[in-house]
């Protein structure tokens, strides 16, 4: 069973000179290639020397200006690696080198073969217990469904991305059970939806069980749904008796 953290390896990729002029961007900014290379080297040094990870370094490809952003090409959880179908057509070939590197690491490879699906790894947040997938300019519902099918052991919820490129443009795991969220209004709107999607409690009404209801009301992050069950309880039925809950992943 996977958990958050406990990483052993990292895959990174060099920066092609074509990034300067041709990488996708939402507004034009001049990139200093030498400074970018230097920053990437420091980043890789931290992964290797400070964190002790085994780092696999893929070569830059001049025909793929965005290839340094390897996160978007694969989602790895436990021994399974889902090769994505990036939302930007100019980025789709980036997955080839990623797939080979993940095969070399003996991971079980799952590919997105549906050409209506799009998914960027930047839209995938794994908490250790569940996945959240941002529906963004780059990731669609079908992409999220295929992710749910690939990682059947975990619940998957989708979240709208109201601004920016990806879900993880404004949030990230900051430790086990800790998600850091941006303070912008669209980020906070997504956070509200995340909180609601994760913490839902159906419970008997305060009229039926006043002491229990008082306890539930202290759960500030839960969305509470009081439901009357007084008639069923006359024939020994509890609230959970009246439904069979199923978490079906994929289609």
Which ranges in 60-131 belong to alpha helices (H)?
94-104
- Interface residue with ligand CIR, options 3, 17, 25, 214 (CB under 6 A): 25
Minimum gap (Å) between residue 3 Cβ and ligand CIR: 22
Active site residue 166: yes
Minimum gap (Å) between residue 144 Cβ and ligand CIR: 16
- Interface residue with ligand CIR, options 122, 134, 143, 164 (CB under 6 A): 122
CB 156 within 8 A of CB 249: yes
Please tell me whether residue 94 binds ligand CIR under the rule CB under 6 A.
Answer: no
Which residue's Cβ lies closest to ligand CIR?
122
Beta bridge partners of 219: none
Nearer to ligand CIR, 121 or 143 (CB): 121
Instruction: Give the SS3 label for residue 198.
Output: helix
How far is Cα 120 from Cα 231, in angstroms, rounded to an integer? 49
- Interface residue with ligand CIR, options 56, 88, 179, 193 (CB under 6 A): 88
Please tell me whether residue 72 binds ligand CIR under the rule CB under 6 A.
Answer: yes
- Interface residue with ligand CIR, options 58, 66, 136, 148 (CB under 6 A): 66
Relative to beta strand 131-135, strand 80-83 is unpaired
**Chain CA centroid to CA 217, Å:** 30
Active site residue 241: yes
Contacts of 26 (CB under 8 A, 6+ apart): 165
Size of the site for ligand CIR (CB under 6 A): 13
């Amino acid at each position: 069973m996977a958990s958050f953290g406990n990483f052993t390896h990292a895959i990174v990729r060099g920066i092609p000179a074509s990034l300067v002029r041709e990488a996708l961007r939402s507004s034009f900014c001049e990139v200093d290639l030498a400074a970018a290379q230097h920053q990437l080297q420091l980043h890789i040094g931290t992964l290797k020397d400070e964190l002790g990870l085994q780092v696999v370094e893929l070569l830059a490809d001049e025909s793929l200006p965005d290839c340094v952003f390897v996160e978007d090409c694969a989602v790895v959880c436990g021994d399974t690696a889902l090769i994505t179908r990036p939302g930007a057509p100019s980025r789709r070939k980036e997955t080839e080198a990623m797939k080979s590197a993940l095969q070399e690491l003996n991971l079980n490879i799952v590919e997105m073969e549906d050409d209506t699906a799009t998914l960027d790894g930047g839209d995938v947040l794994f908490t250790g217990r569940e996945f959240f997938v941002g529906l963004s300019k780059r990731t669609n519902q079908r992409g999220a469904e295929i992710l749910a099918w690939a990682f059947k052991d975990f619940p998957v919820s989708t979240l709208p991305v109201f601004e920016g490129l990806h879900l993880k443009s404004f949030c990230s795991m900051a430790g086990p059970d800790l998600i850091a969220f941006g303070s912008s209004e669209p980020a906070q709107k997504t956070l509200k939806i995340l909180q609601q999607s994760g913490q839902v409690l159906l419970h008997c009404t305060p009229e039926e069980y006043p002491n229990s209801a008082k306890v539930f009301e202290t759960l500030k992050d839960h969305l509470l749904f009081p439901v009357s069950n007084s008639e069923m309880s006359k024939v020994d039925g509890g609230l959970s008796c009246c439904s069979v809950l199923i978490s079906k992943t994929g289609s």
